[in-house]
Amino acid sequence: MMTPRAHGQPMSHARQQAGMSLIELMIAVAIGLALLAGLSSLYVSTSKARTEFNKTSEQVENGRFALQSITRDIEMAGFYGRASQLIATSSYALPDPCAAAPASMGFSTSPTVTVPLPVYGPALAATALPCLATSLPNRATGAEVLTVSYVAGSTAAAANGTDYYVQRSGCETDSVPLVYSKTAADFTLHNKAAVAGGTCSTSSAAELRKYVMRSYYVATCDVCSGAGADTTPTLKMAEFVNGAIQTSSLVTGIEDVHYSYGVDLDNNGSPDCYADNPSDTSAAPAACATAATAASYAWTASATANWANVTAVRINLLSRNLDSTASWTDTRTYALGRAAASGPYNDHYKRHVYGTVARVWNTGGLRENQ
């Protein structure tokens, strides 16, 4: 017979050790699953945000690096050693970005000193160079080309039989004022001796500076052949190295580049107007027509003269993410400075326009000091 428990008497040991009921357990599991679902959702959204941030960071870096690379070369363009002496007596020749023979590269001393133009858009010429398809392989349809020419700042180079160098005379008694060659025996020009009166010294050879010619263009691919071939738009650089044109990828994700050229019409170093194509001599662009008239500038006289008066280049480029974003559709248009905007592309890549103005210091800066 069970004896009733007196008031205040403790419960049995078994009753104190009783666990959760099934209902309590189910409630705890449900709360735990809800918390886990929330944490999983937070992790997924954070991971997606981080991935998009990385894509955008890479795109920004690529766009800025492309601008920096092109700008640096434009600012060096037209440097041929003692430029202030050379420009006063020289004229310019349209550089051929496909040429590898010295006679076709723009250097001459007869009848006057001639050097390649500092900056030039060969694809904008009245008659496009047929070799652009081979020297600038995989160029995107309609892609603009910018060619820059100058000599390196270093004078420590020695002729090696493969690279081409420019030697500028410092002596009026030298037979020619400039030599462009790869052969050591051709460099016979001299400097002034470091003595009172600065007489010419046959023991002081003029310095050699390596010739640099680079062409920038947008290609339809980074790796364009083989098992790893892709369709990533890429800014490529074709460079004159060891007597031949060599092409390399510079920045991936660059989809389009537009250049506008600032033309100095009154010879004071500052651009008076910007033209998309200085090679077009049929008529001055609307922005330049009034200024050309005021400066008595003969726009239609010569494409070479127009290019020789370019003292600044406005660069606008379109950088694209390397990876697509499934939830994004690009319905935007992008103004690069052309009459018509680019886009919409209606794909799943995010894009951004980057722009800057680069000075051609070795043309404009010299004029400002005259």
- pLDDT tens, position by position, 293-333: 888 999 988 899 999 999 999 999 999 999 999 889 999 99
Peptide bond into 118 cis (omega under 30): no
Predicted local confidence at residue 118, as pLDDT: 94
Task: Report the pLDDT value the prediction gives residue 348, as an integer from 0 to 100.
Answer: 95
Does the N-terminal peptide bond of residue 97 adopt cis geometry, omega within 30 degrees of 0?
A: no
Q: What is the pLDDT of residue 239?
A: 93
pLDDT at position 10, please?
58
pLDDT for position 67 = 97
What's the pLDDT score for residue 66? Answer: 97
Q: What is the DSSP string of 29-58?
A: HHHHHHHHHHHHHHHHHHHHHHHHHHHHHH
Query: Between β-strands 310-320 and 351-359, what pairing exists: parallel, antiparallel or unpaired?
Result: antiparallel
Pairwise CA distance, residues 180 & 162, whole Å: 13
φ and ψ of 122, to 5 deg? -60, -30
| Cβ atoms 330, 349 nearer than 8 A | yes
What confidence score (pLDDT) does residue 156 get?
Answer: 78
**In which element (H, E) is residue 120 found?**
strand 119-120
Whole-angstrom distance, CA of residue 239 vs CA of residue 195: 40
Other C-beta atoms within 10 Å of 51: how many?
12
CA triple 323-324-328, angle to 5 deg: 150
Please say whether the beta carbons of 218 and 316 come within 8 A. Answer: no
- Stretches where the chain sits below pLDDT 70 are 1-19, 82-90, 128, 193-199, 369-370
